[in-house]
Amino acid sequence: MKRFPILFSIAMASIITSCNNKSGSTAAGDHVNPLLQASILPYQAPQFDKIQTADFEPALLQGMKEQKDEMQKIADNPDAPTFENTLIAMEKSGQLLTRVALTFNVLTGANTNEALQKVQESVAPKLAAHQDAIYLNDKLFKRVDAVFQQRASLNLDPESLRLVEYYHQQFELAGA
User: What CATH number has the domain bearing residue 112?
Assistant: 1.20.1050.40
Q: Is the pTM of this model over 0.85?
A: no
pLDDT digits (tens, 9 = 90+) for 43-87: 989 999 999 999 999 999 999 999 999 999 999 999 999 999 999
With bands split at pLDDT 50, 70 and 90, how would you rate the model's confidence at 22?
very low
63 contact partners, CB below 8 Å, separation of at least 6: 94, 96, 97, 98, 99, 100, 101
Predicted pLDDT at 2:
46
pLDDT at 25 over 60: no
92 in any annotated domain? yes
75 in any annotated domain? yes
176 contact partners, CB below 8 Å, separation of at least 6: 135, 136, 138, 141
Number of domains in the chain: 1
